[in-house]
């Protein structure tokens, strides 16, 4: 039996080692139950616009920055040629060395829809336009691209479209040799619009691989490269953390075997059961589970190990008391989770449901296993004890003071920009670009499909009255009534080309046959309005996503921006939209954190029936907070809302340590309590320490806050609680004497 | 049936005949003879010292598969070293101004004129075929012997006809160009074979010149 249990323990140790790989594999899978979207960060009302902002091609612009050797543009031309070879897919537009061929890609449908925008010109005007086209067609143009362009747009409507397109890109830099050029830094900027969502990182990877020859001198700045860079860094970090995790796991397993406590390895499988249970319920409730829920939530569920350690180091006689304390531990954690479940942020709600279900499952599984197999699972205590000393208590006081100081000194940075992982070169180029272009962030509004054109017309009119530049659907298409009125002039002007003699000479008839047949001759199928907008049009595709239409407002000063915001209350910048998550989180935590502490205090009061042990049970949490604050203030660590989330997680496990430590003094003195707390803290740290080996700000902040707060909580439990209880008793003694 | 008997004399005659015909055949079968830089310089001597050239032209562009002949006429102004103005007067007013870095296309005239400026880069091949083609023509029209020899393999077709085949065929907008000089040495006709297989036949009138 002993051998079998030992073998089983080793098997589970291997299973634990595989678990990070399994999680990574799940995150890479394309299963419907696994969610990786950004929507989950935002409350329902703000969710759509923010999520959609990634879908509108108007937001898929990037900047390619190339360092030139003095005034040598040869590399710039090579780069431009290479980029243009990638149009129209994977790149929609490349703004360099604009030529006649570039117009062809944007004016496909524009020329075809001319009858919707203007009245039919006179025959003389059409004849003169044809002559002009034929003169241009006579030029040597290499291939047929330009000729086909002239044939498809003989009335030269592309000129109007070109003006609209040029208005979209407002860069205050001189154009030299066909490039936006900064003479001070000898750099060129090529605006590049991708034909795909930034989330499709494989496509970005392929583009960057194709441009690898230019890499030393070229930097790609924009949403696509940033998404790729961050995802690659996170994957790299997770690999590093996994490897560090293996080493720690081997050390932990080795330590348990060396200490002849291999039974403790059997406590890990129930955690996997708990995580699986939580995941299944989450998928059933929400339809899918987000990658962040799975990784962060599993960390919280992992705290169920604490209940296992407490029970394993207890004894059969005291089992009832142990499980009562465990029950209070799980209740205090669940209270925190339920409070956070009230958040407007779907991610937090999902994470808390997952954690609460997982934690409860873990608790119940442990309860069952220890009731059924106590002989297998209960082990000898380590015999660790912590006697209070003035130095230890002083350290705890310093930590408690630091936690108070932290409230006043530390201000979490809510800016999402800090989570954009950049190397020195990228950062320097990004800053230079921001300074050089000095572009104001445009504001955006979104209109619904059917009413989009009417709403867009109103926006256009208002913007024109106030002298504000606007990029909207109405710039490209008149209202349905106007379209019909224009169309009528074309329909009434049509002739039966088969019967009546042609008004154009033979060359014109043959060269412009497509246009003549579709627009000037009677045709039963052609010429209809675009009211329903069922057909995708190449000239408006940058403004369209999922049946919604984007309007971009481009204010030039604060006054214009204020006017837009007053007239369009839903208008906001992309940055503001992205800031919604940390802002809501900060606002919610400002009431959720005190409420959680208050509710936990009530549970503790109910449990201890006294005030003193109840507030002493808060010491580990505040020690953890204190150690984090002290380190952050001393070493100037960056504190973000991710750090705050980590501290919320530490709030959960701090009470597991606290209750057993306080119970040791106020309820029943047990031998195994300190070993259980130490084992639980060691297991928690073993899970979080690998995050210290990462470089991405999100994982780094999480690792720092979790490791420091765990250590602080542990010190608060093993040094703080004994010390403060002794201090309390010493203070009571003189009073009793008196 | 009588059998023909060849005498040794006839073998000798055939051998010498073959010696004579091989160079002729090689010229016809394996291509025109290459023209050296020095020879080309001699042929283009007429243009060596000119600073300004002004000439009328008539042109026919044949779109082979469509069976269309686009006829036009106009005026070419060349200001050496690198400025070219290609002005079409018929069927409609169109002016193309080319220099080392840009192509400017003006359609119409007076207040209705529309101007489009395209960058072609300094001596670089543009990503745009049309701009590239116009730039290539401008470079050719300067008739700079050294530049032509650097960019083209030049073959002599007839006494005054030459064929220019781009050395870098991947980036060139032309398959080849054929030039015919008149007896006094000035450009009489130019035929452009485009990569689209369209052909442009340009006939030049007598030029007005300014020399150094």
- Residues B162-179 have pLDDT tens digits of 999 998 877 788 899 999
Mean of pLDDT values over A614-619: 92
Mean of pLDDT values over A272-283: 92
Is A69 an interface residue toward B (CB < 8 Å)?
no
**Residues with Cβ < 8 Å from A133, sequence gap 6 or more?**
A150, A154, A156, A511, A512
Place of tokens 């971009």: A552
As a whole number of angstroms, the distance between CA B60 and CA A395 comes to 96
Contact A477, A110 (CB under 8 A): no
The three-class DSSP label of residue A722 is: helix
Residues 545-564 of A with CB under 8 A from B: none
3-state secondary structure A224-277: HHHHHHHHHHHHHHHHHHHHHHHHHHHHHHHHHHHCCCHHHHHHHHHHHHHHHH
The answer to whether A85 contacts B108, with C-beta atoms less than 8 Å apart, is no
The answer to whether A140 contacts B118, with C-beta atoms less than 8 Å apart, is no
Determine what percent of chain A is predicted with pLDDT higher than 70: 90
Q: How confident is the model at residue A736, as a pLDDT?
A: 54
The answer to whether B127 contacts A137, with C-beta atoms less than 8 Å apart, is no
The answer to whether A177 contacts B174, with C-beta atoms less than 8 Å apart, is no
Q: Which two tokens stand for residue A606?
A: 């109910």
Mean of pLDDT values over A149-164: 86
The answer to whether A99 contacts B105, with C-beta atoms less than 8 Å apart, is no
Least confident residue range of A54-58, A181-185, A352-356, B20-24 = B20-24
Element (DSSP H or E) covering residue A221 = strand A218-221
What is the least distance, in Å, from the CA of B12 to any CA of chain A? Answer: 53
Residue in chain A lying closest to B192 (CA): A140
Contact B100, B124 (CB under 8 A): no
Q: How confident is the model at residue A504, as a pLDDT?
A: 79
pLDDT at residue A18 is higher than 50: no
Is A144 an interface residue toward B (CB < 8 Å)?
yes
Q: How confident is the model at residue A12, as a pLDDT?
A: 45
The number of C-beta contacts closer than 8 angstroms across A and B is 148
Higher pLDDT, A6 or A274: A274
pLDDT at residue A578 is higher than 50: yes
3-state secondary structure A354-410: HHHHHHHHHHHHHHHHHHHCHHHHCCCCCCCCCCCCHHHHHHHHHHHHHHHHHHHHC
Least confident residue range of A128-137, A202-211, A537-546 = A537-546
Contact A395, A719 (CB under 8 A): yes
Proportion of chain B in helix, strand, coil states, percent, rounded to 5 = 30, 40, 30
Determine what percent of chain B is predicted with pLDDT higher than 70: 81
- Residues A390-425 have pLDDT tens digits of 999 999 999 999 999 998 998 888 777 777 777 888
Place of tokens 């650097």: B150
The answer to whether A140 contacts B194, with C-beta atoms less than 8 Å apart, is yes
Q: How confident is the model at residue A15, as a pLDDT?
A: 45
As a whole number of angstroms, the distance between CA A275 and CA A563 comes to 51
Mean of pLDDT values over B15-32: 58
As a whole number of angstroms, the distance between CA B71 and CA B73 comes to 7
**Residues with Cβ < 8 Å from A577, sequence gap 6 or more?**
A42, A46, A49, A50, A53
As a whole number of angstroms, the distance between CA B170 and CA B154 comes to 18
What is the least distance, in Å, from the CA of A182 to any CA of chain B? Answer: 17
Residues of A in Cβ contact (< 8 Å) with B63: 147, 511
Higher pLDDT, A669 or A280: A280
Q: How confident is the model at residue B127, as a pLDDT?
A: 54
Q: Which two tokens stand for residue B57?
A: 């032209």
pLDDT interval class at A533 (50, 70, 90): low
- Residues A296-313 have pLDDT tens digits of 788 788 888 889 988 998
Contact A680, A306 (CB under 8 A): yes
pLDDT at residue B152 is higher than 50: yes
Residues of B in Cβ contact (< 8 Å) with A134: 70, 72, 91-92
**Residues with Cβ < 8 Å from B186, sequence gap 6 or more?**
B46, B47, B204, B206, B207
Is A511 an interface residue toward B (CB < 8 Å)?
yes
What is the least distance, in Å, from the CA of B35 to any CA of chain A? Answer: 25
As a whole number of angstroms, the distance between CA A516 and CA A504 comes to 10
The three-class DSSP label of residue B42 is: helix
Is A72 an interface residue toward B (CB < 8 Å)?
no
Contact B135, B167 (CB under 8 A): no
Residues of A in Cβ contact (< 8 Å) with B84: none
ipTM of the complex: 0.82
Q: How confident is the model at residue A6, as a pLDDT?
A: 46
pLDDT interval class at A502 (50, 70, 90): low
As a whole number of angstroms, the distance between CA A622 and CA A709 comes to 9
Least confident residue range of A99-113, A145-159, A362-376 = A99-113
The answer to whether B194 contacts A131, with C-beta atoms less than 8 Å apart, is no
Q: How confident is the model at residue A456, as a pLDDT?
A: 92
What is the least distance, in Å, from the CA of B43 to any CA of chain A? Answer: 25
Higher pLDDT, A346 or A18: A346
Q: Which of A75, A139, A162, A509 has the most B C-beta neighbours within 10 Å, making it the best mutation to test the interface with B?
A: A139
Residues facing residue B202 across a β-bridge: B59, B190
Going from the C-alpha of A672 to that of each of A280, A383, A543, A669, the distances in angstroms are: 35, 7, 65, 9
Going through A423-565 in order, the beta strands assigned E by DSSP cover 443-448, 469-471, 544-545, 548-554
What is the least distance, in Å, from the CA of B206 to any CA of chain A? Answer: 21
Q: To the nearest whole number, what is the mean pLDDT of chain A?
A: 84
Residues of A in Cβ contact (< 8 Å) with B105: 136
Contact A715, A402 (CB under 8 A): no
DSSP conformational letter for A41:
G
pLDDT at residue A2 is higher than 60: no
HSE-up of A432 (CA within 13 Å, CB side)? 21
Nearest to A101 among B86, B91, B128 (CB): B128
What is the least distance, in Å, from the CA of A115 to any CA of chain B? Answer: 22
Mean of pLDDT values over A719-736: 82
Residues of A in Cβ contact (< 8 Å) with B118: 97-100, 178
Q: Which two tokens stand for residue A491?
A: 């329909």
Contact B192, B131 (CB under 8 A): no
What is the least distance, in Å, from the CA of B56 to any CA of chain A? Answer: 15
Residues of B in Cβ contact (< 8 Å) with A139: 86, 88, 94, 96, 130, 133-134
The answer to whether B130 contacts A144, with C-beta atoms less than 8 Å apart, is no
The three-class DSSP label of residue B54 is: strand
Going from the C-alpha of B149 to that of each of A142, A360, A696, B38, B179, the distances in angstroms are: 21, 85, 57, 10, 14
Residues facing residue B203 across a β-bridge: B58, B189
As a whole number of angstroms, the distance between CA A717 and CA A158 comes to 74
Residues of A in Cβ contact (< 8 Å) with B202: none
Residue in chain A lying closest to B191 (CA): A140
What is the least distance, in Å, from the CA of B205 to any CA of chain A? Answer: 18
Element (DSSP H or E) covering residue B60 = strand B50-63
The three-class DSSP label of residue A698 is: helix
The answer to whether B121 contacts A73, with C-beta atoms less than 8 Å apart, is yes
What is the least distance, in Å, from the CA of B134 to any CA of chain A? Answer: 6
**Residues with Cβ < 8 Å from A417, sequence gap 6 or more?**
none
The answer to whether B130 contacts A100, with C-beta atoms less than 8 Å apart, is yes
Mean of pLDDT values over A446-450: 81
- Residues B57-111 have pLDDT tens digits of 999 999 988 889 999 999 999 888 878 899 999 888 999 998 877 788 888 777 7
What is the least distance, in Å, from the CA of A568 to any CA of chain B? Answer: 37
pLDDT interval class at A10 (50, 70, 90): very low
Nearest to A705 by CA among A632, A621, A596: A632
pLDDT interval class at A26 (50, 70, 90): low
Residues of B in Cβ contact (< 8 Å) with A97: 118-121, 126-128, 131
CA angle, residues A16, A18, A24, in degrees to nearest 5: 120
Higher pLDDT, A723 or B12: A723
Residues 174-193 of A with CB under 8 A from B: 175, 177-179
């Amino acid at each position: 039996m002993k051998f079998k249990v030992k073998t089983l323990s080793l098997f589970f140790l291997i299973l634990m080692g595989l678990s990070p790989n399994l999680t990574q594999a799940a995150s890479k899978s394309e299963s419907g139950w696994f969610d990786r979207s950004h929507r989950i960060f935002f409350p329902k009302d703000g969710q759509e616009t923010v999520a959609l902002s990634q879908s509108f091609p108007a937001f898929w612009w990037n900047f390619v920055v190339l360092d030139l050797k003095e005034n040598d543009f040869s590399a710039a031309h090579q780069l431009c040629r290479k980029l243009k070879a990638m149009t129209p897919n994977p790149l929609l537009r490349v703004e360099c060395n604009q030529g006649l061929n570039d117009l062809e890609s944007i004016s496909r449908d524009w020329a075809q829809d001319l009858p919707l925008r203007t009245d039919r010109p006179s025959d003389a005007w059409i004849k003169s336009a044809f002559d002009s086209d034929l003169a241009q067609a006579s030029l040597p143009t290499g291939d047929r691209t330009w000729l086909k362009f002239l044939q498809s747009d003989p009335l030269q409507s592309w000129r109007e479209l070109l003006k609209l397109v040029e208005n979209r890109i407002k860069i205050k830099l001189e154009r030299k040799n066909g490039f936006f050029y900064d003479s001070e830094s000898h750099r060129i900027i090529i605006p590049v619009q991708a034909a795909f969502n930034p989330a499709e990182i494989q496509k970005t990877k392929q583009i960057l691989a194709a441009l690898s020859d230019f890499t030393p001198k070229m930097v790609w700045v924009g949403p696509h490269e940033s998404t790729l860079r961050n995802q690659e860094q996170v994957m790299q970090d997770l690999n590093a953390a996994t490897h560090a995790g293996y080493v720690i796991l081997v050390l932990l397993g080795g330590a348990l075997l060396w200490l002849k406590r291999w039974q403790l390895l059997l406590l890990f499988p129930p955690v996997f059961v708990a995580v699986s249970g939580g995941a299944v319920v989450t998928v059933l409730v929400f339809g899918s589970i987000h990658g962040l829920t799975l990784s962060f939530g599993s960390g919280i569920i992992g705290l169920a190990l604490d209940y296992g350690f407490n029970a394993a180091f207890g004894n059969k006689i005291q089992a009832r008391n142990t499980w009562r304390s465990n029950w209070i531990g799980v209740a205090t954690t669940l209270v925190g989770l339920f409070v956070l479940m009230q958040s407007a942020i779907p991610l937090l709600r999902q994470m808390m449901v997952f954690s609460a279900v997982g934690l409860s499952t873990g608790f119940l599984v442990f309860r069952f296993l220890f009731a059924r197999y106590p002989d297998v699972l209960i082990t000898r205590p380590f015999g660790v004890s912590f006697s209070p000393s003035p130095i230890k208590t002083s350290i705890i006081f310093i930590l408690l003071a630091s936690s108070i100081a932290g409230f006043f000194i530390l201000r979490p940075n809510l800016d999402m920009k800090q989570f954009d992982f950049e190397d020195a070169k990228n950062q320097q180029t990004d800053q230079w670009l921001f300074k050089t272009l000095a572009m104001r962030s445009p504001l955006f509004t979104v209109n619904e499909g059917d009413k989009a054109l009417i709403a867009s017309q109103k926006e256009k009119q208002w913007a024109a009255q106030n002298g504000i530049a606007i990029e909207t659907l109405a710039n490209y298409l008149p209202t349905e009534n106007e379209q019909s009125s224009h169309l009528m002039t074309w329909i009434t002007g049509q002739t039966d080309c088969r019967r009546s003699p042609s008004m154009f000479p033979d060359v014109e008839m043959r060269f412009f046959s497509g246009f003549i047949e579709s627009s000037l001759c009677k045709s039963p199928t052609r010429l209809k309005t675009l009211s329903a907008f069922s057909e995708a049009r190449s000239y408006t595709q940058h403004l369209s996503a999922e049946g919604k239409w984007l309007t971009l407002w481009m204010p030039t000063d604060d006054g214009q921006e204020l006017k837009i915001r007053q007239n369009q209350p839903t208008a906001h910048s992309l940055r503001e939209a992205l800031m919604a998550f940390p802002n809501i989180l900060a606002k919610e935590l400002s009431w959720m954190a005190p409420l959680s502490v208050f509710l936990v205090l009530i549970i503790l009061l109910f449990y201890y029936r006294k005030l003193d042990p109840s507030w002493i049970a808060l010491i580990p949490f505040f020690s953890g907070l204190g150690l984090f604050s002290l380190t952050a203030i001393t070493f100037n660590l960056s504190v973000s809302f991710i750090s705050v989330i980590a501290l919320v997680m530490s709030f959960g496990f701090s009470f597991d340590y606290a209750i057993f430590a306080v119970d040791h003094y106020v309820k029943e003195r047990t031998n195994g309590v300190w070993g259980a707390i130490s084992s639980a803290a060691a297991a928690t740290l073993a899970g979080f320490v690998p995050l210290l080996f990462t470089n991405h700000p999100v994982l780094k902040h999480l690792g720092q806050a979790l490791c420091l707060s765990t250590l602080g909580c542990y010190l608060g439990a093993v040094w703080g609680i004994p010390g403060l209880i002794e201090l309390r008793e010493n203070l009571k003694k003189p009073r009793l004497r008196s | 049936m009588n059998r023909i008997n060849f005498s040794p004399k006839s073998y000798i005659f055939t051998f010498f005949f073959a010696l004579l015909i091989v160079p002729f055949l090689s010229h016809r079968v394996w291509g025109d003879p290459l023209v050296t830089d020095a020879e080309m310089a001699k042929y283009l001597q007429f243009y060596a010292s000119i600073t300004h050239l002004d000439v009328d032209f008539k042109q026919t562009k044949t779109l082979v598969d469509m069976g269309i002949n686009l006829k036009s006429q106009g005026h070419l102004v060349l200001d050496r070293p690198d400025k070219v103005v290609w002005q079409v007067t018929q069927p409609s007013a169109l002016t193309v101004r080319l220099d080392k870095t840009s192509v400017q296309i003006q359609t119409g005239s007076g207040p209705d004129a529309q101007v489009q400026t395209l960058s072609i880069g300094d001596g670089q091949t543009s990503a745009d075929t049309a701009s590239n083609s116009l730039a290539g023509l401008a470079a050719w029209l300067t008739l700079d012997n050294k530049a032509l020899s650097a960019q083209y393999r030049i073959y002599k077709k007839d006494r005054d006809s030459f064929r220019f085949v781009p050395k870098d065929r991947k980036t060139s907008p032309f398959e080849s160009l054929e030039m015919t000089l008149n007896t006094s040495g000035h450009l009489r006709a130019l035929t452009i074979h485009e990569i689209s297989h369209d052909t442009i036949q340009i006939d030049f009138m007598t030029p007005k010149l300014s020399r150094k």
